[in-house]
């Protein structure tokens, strides 16, 4: 960490600051430039110190040199993490497609969806029992009832299931009913939830908040890892920008950067980025080409009757077509699929 | 709601859509323009329908005509809401300043802060017992212990206290220990938390999410109102933009718009927008001039020793100076203060 | 166009507005909903009317139904535009890679770059003679001298050249010296420049402004087409968002949407989006997979000595490697390359 | 400037980099931290070097320590700049309001506007002869004819005039016809235009680009100052964010920061931020309270007949009301008005 002092900083102030740094058991080494004094802080610095030091009137800026994340970082953990869910491996050479409806709506709907997916050779279905909805007047999900339907799907079809978890109190029961928990974009910085999913023995898909920086995203993963759960899969799903022509702006740079910076698997949700089903095709192909390890795609047996996200859900035949495209692009970037 | 069809929509498709609309007990009235057919949907439309209809291949767009919020809207509730906390009234002609440290750090620190505030004639102190921190390695707050210290402050000084609540499980105890609950920016769309604070009998300050639209912000308030708690105070605290010269961009337009659209009190947190204490002065004055009903300001007895947000916390003497400025600007816009 | 009136609009106001609409030779057709009156405006409406009507106190909103662009729109011009530059075709099944240094720096540098590119089988080199620089203290380009060097390159190597044009006064001479003119991101809404390049007989690459919406981007192309130049190539180069981990956020959704909405060729500049050379590889592959018609890539014989953009310029051997990747991904999406 | 090396940087690479730095006549001083080597670069560093150094594979990051602007900076020029236009002073204790229509539409309209403004005691009118319009089908302004009308207004009413300049070729004639030139938001980084207005002897209002950072904004002012024109007035007019409830987000933090960082006058355009006339009132008051030196407000004799921006133009009686508010808030922050 580097502390840049203002031009008018006095020798007393410099000494004072050195004392404060030493109190934290860190080593301050001043460096006099031509227009500014700069103090290097050696040791295990943490971001929280930076604000206290920046609080001083004679400090101009505090510049971190090291990354704030450790457990997620490739620098500290060179081997890539492979998250296993049944016989599926995330983060290895195989490419994984998770598909399914936005919500669990009924036994009939979810069984139909599972059988469609199974028929296409996929092994994991997405479907939310709990729904974060902008409006209190919108369908809020079937809740625990939905979890039970998902468990039933697993038992009857052999398809594994992935679902969103929103409330800390529901983590244990959800972990018991499904194969993968998902922390949604709106909860990426719900730190109590991150801590709870960090304590269970169930893989977690962590979606990027719609205005979270890549650094904040990795720090959210760090919370889960730090609490003991090593099976974290990162999911880019589009960020909020000024553009309104689509629901979100898929941040393909982030996919590539996350693969560079962390050892965790990275998947892409093209459906929430697109907000319309035509764009799901090009975004899915772009995700593979950019190095993603998998996709999380919305498919509904009858999108025009969906309780939520019907406009961005693929028709079953569209999913079949998408999978053919996926296979071809995977081959071009040395990934196996299907 | 208006549904715009694509140029190639067939009469059968139009009939089909009309049937779907009628199934929801709504009334479809087609209108043939020169290049497009448009269908007006009459009745109590909800946003969730729009996605199912937009899911149809022959639909180009679905345009809502009415606002999605009701309980929060001035259109449906013309009288302004005045939230009473002890003898303080939010949303009336008086202007309210809440000040205090970012976090509860120790008994000594929080008692000192309370006495400083009391000495300046303020009646409510802010201080967080639970801290949402980007890093798991940062100070996470004193938790329940912090709540107890806040209760002690109330009893010993008579100062009322406001604190952040993050975990649904802590809502009852927090409501019992403090005078105002705060839902932080990161939890603005933690819908389970909104529901829980909607069920207790304690005023709530709801902070705008850092990338929440004004509409989403009002919808979050709607969740609390809908669950039964009518004492909601909205708080603008800066949004995330491309600009990095300050922590967030204070959205003064939103303050004015919220006053136009809703009947709820609106306050401003200049500290989190600024991210540095020099900017707190101009932002506070701008907030008053734009029509805000109050301020939520960070002040710490010794900012350079603060466990969090030291850089943006005012020194006690700065708060005293700010209050003088507040008084003058209030007078210029017909608000009373102090 | 639809005009939504406020609930309190009076019959006199409605009549008054109908008169104003008829004055513009348009046909107003009122529609009474349950809570609002809506007026449909039939005829060739233009966006400028919307603001005058929105200016009325009893108007709540004005909603356009039709797209504002015509000449660029696939709806009005179904055949895709193929822009020919020598024997290279943009917008056809072949995929085109333009590569070269950020700036023309010297005769030696630019001849070296051209020969490297030629050796790899590429046919068009990028290189700027005029440089838009954030700082007046930075290298501003060689100007006319640079244009002459580019002409010399064409004559000596047979490589075609593409360069940025910033000043309306330089358009004729630039069009005479190079094969493709480029309008940079900062000038996307320099309307006088758009008009001038619309009048010359030289293909134009139009880069998206860093905070331009897709609609504004298409409208900028519309200016060039409207002024007579039909050879417009759109170039997505990343947009400005809150994320600072890379220079810009490549908007891959925009690439796909532009291909859906317009008949113009769409290429991608991965270098300016990335701001660092490692990201150029995944972004380039993603662009192809998403349906782009070509790439505009920065390559410098010696990046660490470049006068500008050295960090995002590929080394020659990296470009060679990129081209191999390009070829493979092209094959997976039915494009030919090399 | 500080160059942070990657952990694996070799001694040879360090020596190599030191040589490159010395070639630029700068002094490299390495500093060995615990996990990284850092090189301090002493001397007159420029941002352009940073990219070349960042281009090196063993460099992790380049961090500037000093600000990139000089002529605009308070650090280098402590006295505040007062821009005089006739007997009006921008940047002094007096507060200045410029008002007028978006565009010059006709002799009758512009004379009416000027007389209204004069009647209210204002001295400077805004009105654009050249119009940057998103659509080529919209009214593009009267051009030179409009400039002549503005000159006529000056002569007949004594009101001074301010107008936008878009095309470098029009700078001399515009400087001859009006009292203040305006560089619009879309041209903030039209560097050729900045250079041209830097060469004339006429005050310039420079509007912030809609996605320009404060640093880029100051650098644009630096271009004008560097080319010789010291009479630059900065104008904040709202930035582009994700929020669509208003036209732009007025960045009140920027107003305060610009006053801290530069010695130039700073004014605010509330009309373009608001995009609707009701918001002009609170935004104007907020601007004064935040420390702005003046306002640039749109007023039209008949907004509903305006050729452009009618929705955000005040009615004459609204402007009169606004000026009363302005006077009161000015008094509360020790500014004189009227």
Of the ranges A44-58, C96-110, D299-313, which is most confident? C96-110
Q: Specify the pLDDT at position B274.
A: 87
Same domain for C47 and C14, yes or no, is: yes
Q: Specify the pLDDT at position A50.
A: 78
Residues of D in contact with C169 (CB under 8 A): 168-169
- The DSSP secondary-structure symbol of B161 reads E
Number of alpha helices (DSSP H) and beta strands (DSSP E) in chain C: 11, 14
Give the pLDDT band (50/70/90) at residue C7.
confident
Look up the pTM and report it.
0.95
Residues of B in contact with C29 (CB under 8 A): 31
Look at residue B35 and tell me whether its pLDDT is greater than 90. no
CB spacing of C168 vs D166 below 8 angstroms = no
Give the pLDDT band (50/70/90) at residue A299.
very high
The rounded percent of chain D whose pLDDT value lies above 70 is: 99
Buried b / exposed e along D170-181 (16+ C-beta atoms within 10 A)? bbeebbebbbbb
Q: Specify the pLDDT at position B202.
A: 97
Three-state SS annotation for chain A: CEEEECCCCCHHHHHHHHHHHHHCCCEEEEEECCCCEEEEEECCCCHHHHHHHHCCCCEEEEECCCCCCCCCECCCCCCCCCEEECCEEECCCECEEEEECCECCCHHHHHHHHHHHHHCCCCEEECECCCCCCCCCCCCCCCHHHHHHHHHHHHHHCCEEEEECCCHHHHHHHHHHCCEEEECHHHCCCHHHHHHHHHCCCCEEEECCCCCCHHHHHHHHHHHHHCCCCCEEEEECCECCCCCCCCCECEHHHHHHHHHHECCCEEECHHHHHCCHHHHHHHHHHHHHCCCCEEEEEECCCHHHCCCCHHHCECHHHHHHHHHHHHHHHHHCCCECC
pLDDT tens-digit readout, D126-158: 999 999 998 898 889 999 999 999 999 999 999
- Residues B306 and A52 sit within 8 Å (Cβ to Cβ): yes
CB spacing of C43 vs B35 below 8 angstroms = no
Same domain for B232 and B134, yes or no, is: yes
CB spacing of A251 vs C245 below 8 angstroms = no
- Partner chains of B (3+ C-beta pairs under 8 Å): A, C, D
Same domain for D285 and D148, yes or no, is: yes
- The DSSP secondary-structure symbol of B313 reads P
Look at residue B36 and tell me whether its pLDDT is greater than 90. no
* CB contact residues (below 8 A), chain D span 220-249, against chain B: 238-239, 241-246, 249
Residue D270 in tokens: 């509330």
CB spacing of B48 vs A192 below 8 angstroms = no
Look at residue B65 and tell me whether its pLDDT is greater than 90. no
Q: Specify the pLDDT at position D43.
A: 83
CB spacing of C276 vs D54 below 8 angstroms = yes
Give the pLDDT band (50/70/90) at residue A276.
confident
CB spacing of C282 vs A249 below 8 angstroms = no
Same domain for B54 and B157, yes or no, is: no
User: A236: distance to nearest CA of chain D, Å?
Assistant: 19
Cα C27–chain centre separation: 36
**D65: nearest CA partner in chain A:** A4
Residues of C in contact with D185 (CB under 8 A): none
Indicate whether A76 belongs to any domain: no
Q: Specify the pLDDT at position D66.
A: 83
CA dist D33 → A1, A42, A309, B196, D5 (Å):
10, 7, 51, 49, 10
Listed range (D42-51, D120-129, D262-271) with the worst mean pLDDT: D42-51
* CB contact residues (below 8 A), chain D span 292-331, against chain A: none
Q: Specify the pLDDT at position D310.
A: 86
Indicate whether D68 belongs to any domain: no
Higher-confidence position of B265 and D274: B265
Same domain for A130 and A100, yes or no, is: yes
Look at residue A48 and tell me whether its pLDDT is greater than 80. no
Look at residue D298 and tell me whether its pLDDT is greater than 80. yes
Mean pLDDT, to the nearest integer, of A198-206? 97
D78 touches chain A (CB under 8 A): no
Same domain for A275 and A181, yes or no, is: yes
Look at residue D104 and tell me whether its pLDDT is greater than 80. yes
Dist. CA C27–CA C44, nearest whole Å: 10
Look at residue C57 and tell me whether its pLDDT is greater than 90. no
Same domain for A46 and A117, yes or no, is: no
Q: Specify the pLDDT at position B185.
A: 97
Residue A221 in tokens: 């993963």
Q: Specify the pLDDT at position C309.
A: 85
Q: Specify the pLDDT at position C67.
A: 85
Indicate whether A72 belongs to any domain: no
Nearest to D250 among B253, B259, B285 (CB): B253
Indicate whether D151 belongs to any domain: yes
D76 touches chain C (CB under 8 A): no
Nearest to C135 among D53, D68, D211 (CB): D68
Residue D76 in tokens: 């280098």
A34, D3, D251, C106: which is closest to B282 by C-alpha?
D251
Q: Which of B215, B253, B255 to mutate to test the interface with D (most CBs of D within 10 A)?
A: B253
CB spacing of A283 vs C256 below 8 angstroms = yes
Helix (H) or strand (E) holding B164: strand B160-164
Residue B253 — φ and ψ, nearest 5°? Answer: -60, -40
Q: Is B182 helix (H, G, I), strand (E, B) or coil?
A: strand
The tokens 């040589």 sit on which residue?
Answer: D19
Nearest to C33 among B7, B63, B65 (CB): B65
CB spacing of C283 vs A273 below 8 angstroms = no
A336 touches chain D (CB under 8 A): no
The domain total for chain B is 2
Residue A78 in tokens: 């060179």
pLDDT tens-digit readout, C303-327: 988 888 888 999 999 999 999 999 9
**B249: nearest CA partner in chain C:** C242
Q: Specify the pLDDT at position A229.
A: 97
DSSP states of D245-266 as a string?
A: SSSSB-BHHHHHHHHHHBSS-E
Indicate whether B88 belongs to any domain: yes
pLDDT tens-digit readout, A172-190: 999 999 999 999 999 999 9
Which domain, by its residues, includes C37? 2-63
pLDDT tens-digit readout, D38-66: 999 888 777 667 788 888 889 988 888 88
User: A58: distance to nearest CA of chain D, Å?
Assistant: 15
A226, A327, A235: which is closest to A272 by C-alpha?
A235
- ipTM summary value: 0.94
Look at residue B52 and tell me whether its pLDDT is greater than 90. no
Mean pLDDT, to the nearest integer, of B206-210? 97
Mean pLDDT, to the nearest integer, of B270-276? 90
Dist. CA C205–CA C265, nearest whole Å: 10
User: B267: distance to nearest CA of chain A, Å?
Assistant: 22
CB spacing of A241 vs C241 below 8 angstroms = yes
Same domain for A160 and A302, yes or no, is: yes
Dist. CA D213–CA B67, nearest whole Å: 33
Dist. CA B11–CA B30, nearest whole Å: 11
A139 touches chain B (CB under 8 A): yes
- Give the relative orientation of helices B316-332 and B107-119 as an angle to the nearest 10 degrees: 40
Nearest to D291 among B242, B254, B282 (CB): B282
Nearest to A290 among C246, C286, C291 (CB): C286
CB spacing of B256 vs D283 below 8 angstroms = yes
B40 touches chain C (CB under 8 A): yes
CB spacing of C249 vs A253 below 8 angstroms = yes
User: A310: distance to nearest CA of chain B, Å?
Assistant: 5
Alpha helices in B127-185 (DSSP H): 144-157, 171-177
Look at residue B49 and tell me whether its pLDDT is greater than 80. no
Same domain for A186 and A94, yes or no, is: yes
Q: Specify the pLDDT at position B115.
A: 98
How many residue pairs bridge chain B and chain C with CB atoms within 8 Å of each other? 43
CATH of the domain at D256: 3.20.20.70
Residue D51 — φ and ψ, nearest 5°? Answer: -70, -35
Classify residue A67 as exposed, middle or buried by CB count within 10 Å of its CB (0-12, 13-18, 19+): middle
Q: What is the largest CA-CA distance in chain A?
A: 76
Give the pLDDT band (50/70/90) at residue B248.
very high
Residue C214 in tokens: 């897709």
pLDDT tens-digit readout, A117-161: 999 999 999 999 999 998 898 889 999 999 999 999 999 999 999
pLDDT tens-digit readout, D314-332: 999 999 999 999 999 999 9
Q: What is the dihedral of CA D132, D136, D138, D140, to 10 degrees?
A: 50
Indicate whether C68 belongs to any domain: no
**C143: nearest CA partner in chain D:** D192
Give the pLDDT band (50/70/90) at residue C51.
confident
CB spacing of B283 vs D273 below 8 angstroms = no
Give the pLDDT band (50/70/90) at residue B276.
confident
Look at residue A84 and tell me whether its pLDDT is greater than 90. yes
Same domain for B181 and B273, yes or no, is: yes
CB spacing of C246 vs A252 below 8 angstroms = no
Indicate whether C178 belongs to any domain: yes
CATH of the domain at B30: 3.30.70.1140
Mean pLDDT of chain C: 94
Residue B38 — φ and ψ, nearest 5°? Answer: -125, 135
pLDDT tens-digit readout, B117-167: 999 999 999 999 999 998 898 889 999 999 999 999 999 999 999 999 999
Q: Specify the pLDDT at position A321.
A: 98
Look at residue B7 and tell me whether its pLDDT is greater than 90. no
Indicate whether D316 belongs to any domain: yes
How many residue pairs bridge chain A and chain D with CB atoms within 8 Å of each other? 43
Q: Specify the pLDDT at position B77.
A: 84
Helix (H) or strand (E) holding D162: strand D160-164
Nearest to C36 among B4, B29, B65 (CB): B65
Mean pLDDT, to the nearest integer, of A69-97? 94
Same domain for C6 and C97, yes or no, is: no
Same domain for C90 and C145, yes or no, is: yes
């Amino acid at each position: 960490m580097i502390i840049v002092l203002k031009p008018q900083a006095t020798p007393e102030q410099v000494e004072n600051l050195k004392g404060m740094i030493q109190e934290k058991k860190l080593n301050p080494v001043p460096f006099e430039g031509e227009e500014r004094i700069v103090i290097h802080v050696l040791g295990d610095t943490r971001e929280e110190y930076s604000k206290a030091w920046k609080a001083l009137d004679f400090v101009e800026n505090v510049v971190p040199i090291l990354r704030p994340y450790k457990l997620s970082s490739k620098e500290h953990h060179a081997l890539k993490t492979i998250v296993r869910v049944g016989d599926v491996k995330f983060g290895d050479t195989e490419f994984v497609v998770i598909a399914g409806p936005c919500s669990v709506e009924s036994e009939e709907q979810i069984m139909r969806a599972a059988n469609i997916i199974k028929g296409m050779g996929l092994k994991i279905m997405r479907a939310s029992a709990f729904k974060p909805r902008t409006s209190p007047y919108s369908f809020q999900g079937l809740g625990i009832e939905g979890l039970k339907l998902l468990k039933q799907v697993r038992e009857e079809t052999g398809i594994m299931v992935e679902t969103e978890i929103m409330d800390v109190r529901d983590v244990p029961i959800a972990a018991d009913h499904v194969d993968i928990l998902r922390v949604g974009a709106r909860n990426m910085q719900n730190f109590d939830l991150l801590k709870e999913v960090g304590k269970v023995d169930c893989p977690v898909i962590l979606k990027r908040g719609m205005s979270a920086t890549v650094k904040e995203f990795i720090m959210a993963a760090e919370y889960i890892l730090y609490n003991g759960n090593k099976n974290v899969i990162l999911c880019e799903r589009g960020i909020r920008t000024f553009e309104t022509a689509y629901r979100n702006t898929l941040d393909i740079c982030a996919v590539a950067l996350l693969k560079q910076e962390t050892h965790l698997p990275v998947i892409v949700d093209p459906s929430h980025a697109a907000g319309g089903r035509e764009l799901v095709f090009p975004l899915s192909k772009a995700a593979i080409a950019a190095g993603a390890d998998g996709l999380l795609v919305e498919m509904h047996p009858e999108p025009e009757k969906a309780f939520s996200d019907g406009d961005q859900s693929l028709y079953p035949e569209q999913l079949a077509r998408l999978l053919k495209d996926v296979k071809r692009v995977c081959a071009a970037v040395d990934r196996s699929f299907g």
